[in-house]
Amino acid sequence: MPSALIEARGIERVFDDGAVAALRGVSFTIAAGEFVTVAGPSGSGKSTLLHIIGALDEPTSGEILFAGCDLRTMPDLAAFRARTIGFVFQAFHLLPTLTAVENVQVPMFETDWPRAERRRRAEALLDLVGLSHRMHHHPAKLSGGERQRVAIARSLANDPAVVLADEPTGNLDSGSATIVADLLRSIHRGRGVTVVLVTHDPIVAAIGQRTLKLVDGRIAGDLRDGNGGPGAERPGPLP
């Protein structure tokens, strides 16, 4: 097994001064290059877990190690998020005033790349997600599936090690959902990026190599590559 890229040790997250426990002691490791889905019913703590992995939120107790380094000791979490993590959200969260190619460039403000380079990279990424014909459209002029593809291109803007996707197909019809799921798989394969995808949909959960099942803030199962689960009928992405 490859060395751990992300390691969670006894993560607990409690909201509202102890009234709500979203995560109750979650431990796992994710290796570099893995495609892991986190499945579970709503309220199981999936999104909270994703936010903690992405350094948007801190655990109440427990620790997250990234490439062996404790996130709490990291001096510049903004830089960590900008360079290492790419986020994809359920509601896309593109900036409505910017065109597709501009939206992809938004995370690049935190890099040293010159303006022309940023633009060139944004165009290449939109090409990668199959939207080279939609570069200068505003989000309002794009379909849901197209918006999510722009968001995926944005998540790759700074060449992150990890893409964290929070219900990326949750707002999409089944046709667009399939396109987006396939796109994530091909990006995973083609770029070797680690993907952690949260979903409540068992079919989507099956596109990963491995599925962490989360129930009531605890890990209820860790299934590898099509070993059972409702999504087992779909072909796995990797041999």
Partner 1 sequence: MTLFSIVWKNLLRRPLRSLLTIVGIAIGIAAVVALTTIAWGFDRAWSQVYQARGTGLIVARIASRDPLPTSFPQGLVAKVTGIRGVEAAVGVLSDVMSIEDAPAMLVFGWPIGTFVWDHLALARGRFPTGDAEREVLLGAIAAELLGKSVGDPIQIETEEFVVCGVYSSSATAENGAVLLPLERLQALTARDGMVNFINVRLSPAVTEEDLPAIRESIQTALQGFKAFDAGEIAQANIAIQVGKGMSLATSLIALVVGAVGVMNTVLMSVFERVREIGVLLAIGWRRRRIILMILLESLCLSLLGGIAGIASGLAAVQVLNMVPFFRGRITTDVNLAALLAALAVSIGLGALGGVYPAWRGARMTPTDALRHE
Stretch that binds partner 1, among 63-71, 76-84, 167-175, 202-210 (CB under 8 A): 76-84
Sheet strands (E) in 56-209: 61-66, 69-70, 85-88, 162-166, 194-199
For residue 51, the minimal CB distance to partner 1 (Å) is 5
Give 128 or 157: the residue with its C-beta nearer to partner 1: 157
Name which position in 149, 154, 185, 188 contacts partner 1 (CB under 8 A).
Answer: 154
Name which position in 8, 22, 82, 187 contacts partner 1 (CB under 8 A).
Answer: 82
Residues in binding contact with partner 1, number by CB under 8 A: 32
DSSP 3-state of 101: helix
40, with CB counted inside 10 A (0-12, 13-18, 19+), is: buried
Give 61 or 227: the residue with its C-beta nearer to partner 1: 61
By the rule CB under 8 A, 148 interacts with partner 1: no
CA distances in angstroms from 28 to 128, 147, 160, 163, 224, listed in the order given: 32, 32, 21, 17, 13
Name which position in 115, 133, 235, 239 contacts partner 1 (CB under 8 A).
Answer: 115
For residue 67, the minimal CB distance to partner 1 (Å) is 17
By the rule CB under 8 A, 96 interacts with partner 1: yes
By the rule CB under 8 A, 156 interacts with partner 1: no
By the rule CB under 8 A, 215 interacts with partner 1: no
Binding mask 33-72 for partner 1 (x = CB under 8 A): ------------------x--x-xx---------------
By the rule CB under 8 A, 169 interacts with partner 1: no
Give 142 or 207: the residue with its C-beta nearer to partner 1: 142
DSSP assignment of 20-85: EEEEEEEEEEEETT-EEEEE--TTSSHHHHHHHHTTSS--SEEEEEETTEEGGG-S-HHHHHHHHE
By the rule CB under 8 A, 4 interacts with partner 1: no
Can you tell me the distance from the alpha carbon of 211 to that of 223, in angstroms, rounded to the nearest whole number?
5
* Contact status, residue 52 vs residue 27, Cβ threshold 8 Å: no
**First-to-last C-alpha distance (Å) of the chain:** 15
Can you tell me the distance from the alpha carbon of 111 to that of 109, in angstroms, rounded to the nearest whole number?
5
235, with CB counted inside 10 A (0-12, 13-18, 19+), is: exposed
- The footprint of partner 1 (CB under 8 A) covers 51, 54, 56-57, 78-83, 85-87, 89, 93, 95-98, 102, 105-107, 109-110, 115, 118-119, 154-155, 157-158
